[in-house]
Amino acid sequence: MNSGPIDFEVCARDGAARVGRLGTAHGTIVTPAFMPVGTRAAVKAMAPDELRTLGYGMILANAYHLAVRPGADVVRELGGLHRFMGWQGAVLTDSGGFQAMSLAKTNSIDESGICFRSHLDGQRLVFTPESAIEIQERLGADIMMSLDECTAYPADAARARSSLELTARWAERSLKARRSVAQALFGIVQGGVYPELRKLSAGQITALGFDGFAVGGLAVGEPKAQMREIAALSAGLLPADKPRYLMGVGTPQDVVAAVAMGYDMFDCVLPTRNARNGSAFTSEGRISIKHARYARDGSPLDPDCDCRTCRTFSRGYLRHLYMAGEILAARALTEHNLHFYSRLMREAQAAISSGTYDAFARGLMAAGPDWEEGPDKATNNVA
């Protein structure tokens, strides 16, 4: 559909939901796609060949964290992110804007950029829109994200407005700073929980020549209903011929709902972080493996799953591993949870292609299992 660093083609539609093909220099990804989070150039507990086997074609890494350690130059010297990680698929790098919010205590923001104090050793690290691009180019990301100011929740309208205006000025600077024609660059829409401000931001960002568009600043603590309302509104403000990426979302229900809105790309730490905390996504809802009731349970984590974990281990064994602090517990649960998300996306794609997405989504959303985190709080990638 374009001749830039990525190709995006919509292959099927069902309402606003769509199936697409996102072509990158490291393979074609069928969308809607979920990206496992590999903050420090590793998806926690997983080996790269396992991610491939699970059906993933693209992962997310974080420019800020990698700039702190081991440094973008080291990654470049070792062949760029793909070779560094031994990962054959595509990589999207987040810019560091989210960390300016999540690590806000030690940072300051002004017109020029974000001044981080390293969360490791207190060293000063300045991220400007220009340096964020330079770092991501050095890392060798297939898709780079422009530096944004991720608006925290709560924020009043004046604060949200100044934040989105800064994000727009940074977006222009990001595009000007780009040197690599082989790496795609996405812009990020902000605007907090204010519909009018989301419209303003989307108008500003989509007027620029980005290869795709992300909606940021959601799932940062606002009520779930508000997250979905703003996400739905924002999706409709983004061009139909470019990939749409809802950042940091989310639970299986969130993802299924967002696919219906027309989003194509997602990332979230939930499947990996929850796994390390002993929590599994299953066809029967969420399971906390530490519960004593699983101690003598010989059945698999999810009777409706054919992942390696469910083919090999019982709930009783997984509970034992978790209670004993064995690394294999984190591995086995992470593999299962990532399999669960991968399968969810394949099922969503199939439902869109066959024109049955509405029934698929309703089945999961209404009478389906409960995978939510809490009563009404959205969660995000606090990496």
The most distant pair of C-alpha atoms in the chain lies apart, rounded to whole Å, by 61
Binding residue for a copy of itself, selected from 30, 47, 175, 232, defined by CB under 8 A: 47
**Nearer Cβ to a copy of itself (80/369):** 80
Tell me if 298 contacts a copy of itself by CB under 8 A.
Answer: yes
Site for a copy of itself in 327-346 (CB under 8 A): 327-328, 330-332
Tell me if 159 contacts a copy of itself by CB under 8 A.
Answer: no
Query: Residue 306 burial by CB count (10 A; 0-12/13-18/19+): exposed, middle or buried?
Result: exposed
**CA 370 – CA 343 distance, rounded (Å):** 17
Least distance from a copy of itself to the Cβ atom of residue 287, Å: 17
CA distances, 35 to each of 149, 206, 231, 321, 363 (Å)? 22, 23, 18, 27, 24
Choices 21-29, 314-322, 345-353, 375-383; region in contact with a copy of itself by CB under 8 A: 314-322
Quote the strand ranges of the chain, DSSP E: 7-14, 17-24, 27-31, 33-35, 58-62, 90-94, 108-110, 113-117, 124-127, 143-145, 184-189, 212-215, 244-246, 265-267, 279-282, 285-288
Tell me if 232 contacts a copy of itself by CB under 8 A.
Answer: no
**Nearer Cβ to a copy of itself (312/356):** 312
Q: With contact defined as beta carbons under 8 Å apart, do 21 and 11 qualify? A: yes
Q: Kindly write out the interface string for residues 58-87 of this chain, putting x where it contacts a copy of itself by CB under 8 A and - elsewhere.
A: -----------xx---x--xxx----xxx-
Number of residues that bind a copy of itself (CB under 8 A): 38
Give the active site residue among 94, 148, 254, 302.
Answer: 94
Binding residue for a copy of itself, selected from 10, 30, 323, 350, defined by CB under 8 A: 323
For the question of residue 94 being annotated catalytic, the response is yes
Query: Which residues are the active-site residues?
Result: 94, 267
